[in-house]
Each structure stands twice: as structure tokens, then as C-alpha cells.
Structure 1
Amino acid sequence: MPPKPPALLRLAVLAVSTALLGAAAPAAPAHSPASRPPQLAHGSPYVETSLFFGTARPDGGPAVTDRQFRAFVDQVVTPRFPGGLTVQEGYGQYRDAHGIIERERSYELTLFYPASRARPNDPKIELIRAAYTERFAQESVARVDDRARVDF
């Protein structure tokens, strides 16, 4: 009976065998389902716009209250986007125009609208941003746009 190879040698042979078997497997063709990103089965092309509203006033005045923000949404946002929206409370920070890091309570407002109606610098959204900065003495309202597939 021949002597058994040392355990380390057996492990090396196993590793090489496994690597060679993997190398022999054919690559997935470019048109195969495995090579494409998953697609949503439902939904239509929409744009998701998130607006970020700070509540601290750069001039040191009183912070924007929940009641003031809700009134702003009712008076300025809802008439322009009556189909619906989402508001979430948050806490954030940013570096202001003077280089100072400001920490403040904030709101994130999310809008979904059909991609076919999306326009660069949409006047309805830009009006919301301008109205908030003017009404509450803010430096800016951040805006993020992203593509989405939405199904209601």
C-alpha cells in the first residue's frame, strides 16, 4: 500500500483541482439574464425629487416651527403638487456660506411625478425653494433628483 501524502499536499491538490474546474466553466454570454441588472416588473418611469429644508435661521432668529412648516407645505407645496407628497423630519448639518458647520432640525420633502412631465429647473419646484429661502431667511434648500419606477 503506497504511503498517504501529507495533509497539506492533499489540500493543495484539492485547491488546484477546484480552481481548474472553475476556470473550465463557460462565461455567461453578454445577452444572458445573469449579465443584465434586474428590472422591476411593475411601475412607470417617474422622477423622485427630494427637497431638504433647514429650520435654523442664519440671522439667529427663532427656528422654523412645525406649525410654520406645515403651513408652508399647505400654502406653497400642495397647490403645485396636489397628487401627493411625503414629509419626514430629520436632523442634519451643513457648512454655511461663512464656513461654519450648522446643525439643525430639518425636513425632507419627497415628490414623485411622471418622467414625461419632468423639466430641468422645473419652475414649480424652483418656486418652492425660493419661497422657503425668502420666507424663513435660509441660504438654500437642497434638491436631489433621481429616476425611479413607481407603481401606485
Structure 2
Amino acid sequence: MRSIRISTPAAAFLAAAALLFALGGPASEAAFGTHEASAASEQNVAEEGSPYISTHLYFGTGRHNGNPPITEEEFMKFVADVITPRFPSGLTLQEARGQWRDKEGDINRERSYELTVMYPVREAHARNADIEYIRGLYCKTWELESVGRADVRAQVDF
């Protein structure tokens, strides 16, 4: 059997013709993800919602020096008394299982909570002070090393 070699321009033409035949007409730019179609798609996404920051705080409940873990009741009181007044518009709280390495190098596994608060980017400076107050008070109250923090930019719509 004899092989036929097709030049690159001819191969491109044949592929386009086959696609045109298969689709029954001209293919849209959106189907191929052209720059114009991608830009229009990104523009639509960018217009939805407003720029926010989503802050995630990670609260462990294990304590040092043989002290009992922070109970659910103690933690929920902290949420009600300290966190809610600073974020009255809303928050999300999830119970979790966490682990982390402490300053002595030990791995600690504990029941934990992930708190998520979202706020407009324009409020970031003021909210940072609230978040750092919450983190500091939690550590001071139960003699803990840290509360984890992660900030993520997001487009948010309610």
C-alpha cells in the first residue's frame, strides 16, 4: 500500500472542510474558543457579582498542657459574643477534623471549625482589624498558638 503525504496547508483545508461537512455549515467562533469568544465569555463572568474577599478562619479545639478541648458550647458562645457582632450580615460555619504541626514539631489532630466571612473589597482594611481581633482573642482565651487564615478574592452576588 502506498502512503500519501499531505502538506500542512492542505491538511488544514481538509480538516476544515470535514468539520464544515460534519456540522452542516460554518462553525461559530465560540465553538473553537477564539480570542473574541473567550473575551466575551470572560466579560460576562466579570460583570456578575461584585468584588469581595472571602476569609476562611480555621479554629482548632485542642488545648495544651492537659487542658480539656474547647467544647461546642464554648465555641458557639465565642461565635455569638465575638464573631457575630463583627459580621452581623452573615457567616458560614462548618465543623471539621483538622491537623497541624505545633511549634514543638508534634502533629495535633483535633475537632475544628472553619468559619467563612465575605465582605466587599472596599471594606478590607476595616475587616482585617476585626479578623485579627477575633484570631488574637481566641488564642488568648484558650492559650493556643494560632488560628489559621486564608483570604480569597471572589466575585459575589446574593
Verify same fold: TM over 0.5.
yes
CA contact (8 A) 1:87 1:109 kept: yes
- Give the equivalent residue in structure 2 for 1:62: 68
DSSP 3-state at the match of 2:100: strand
Task: Establish whether residue 147 from structure 1 lines up as the match of residue 153 from structure 2.
Answer: yes
Deviations 1:43-81 (A, max 9, x none): 111110000000100222100111111000000001111
Instruction: Extract structure 1 runs of 4+ deviating beyond 3 A.
Output: 35-38
2:19 aligns with none
Decide whether the 8 Å contact of 1:58 with 1:139 is kept in 2.
Answer: no
| Structure 2: tracts of 5 or more residues without a match | 17-31
Q: Give the whole-Å Cα distance in 2 for the aligned partners of 1:37 and 1:100.
A: 48
CA RMSD of aligned residues (A): 3.0
Secondary structure at the counterpart of residue 138 of structure 1: coil
Q: 2:114: which partner in 1?
A: 108
Percent identical pairs in the alignment equals 45
Distance 2:90 2:126 in 1: 21
User: What is the aligned partner in structure 1 of residue 12 from structure 2?
Assistant: 21
Distance apart, 1:41 and its partner CA: 4.4
Whether 1:79 aligns to 2:61 is no
Q: Report the CA distance shift for 1:84/1:120 in structure 2 as closer, same or farther (over 3 A).
A: closer
Normalization by structure 2: what TM-score? 0.76
Cα distance in 2 between the residues matched to 1:20 and 1:35: 29
Aligned partner of 1:124 in structure 2 is 130
Which secondary structure state, in structure 2, belongs to the residue aligned with residue 32 of structure 1?
helix
In structure 2, which of residues 47, 55, 62 is the aligned counterpart of residue 49 of structure 1? 55
| 1:135 is aligned to 2:144 | no
Deviations 1:90-118 (A, max 9, x none): 00111100001111110000000111111
Q: TM-score, normalised by structure 1?
A: 0.78
The answer on 1:34 being equivalent to 2:38 is yes
Indicate conservation of the 8 Å contact 1:28/1:35, yes or no. no
1:142–1:32 distance in 2 versus 1, CA, 3 Å: same
Give the Cα–Cα distance (whole angstroms) in 1 for the partners of residues 140 and 52 of structure 2. 29
Question: C-alpha separation between the residues in 2 aligned to 1:142 and 1:53?
Answer: 7
CA distance in 2, matches of 1:103, 1:148: 30
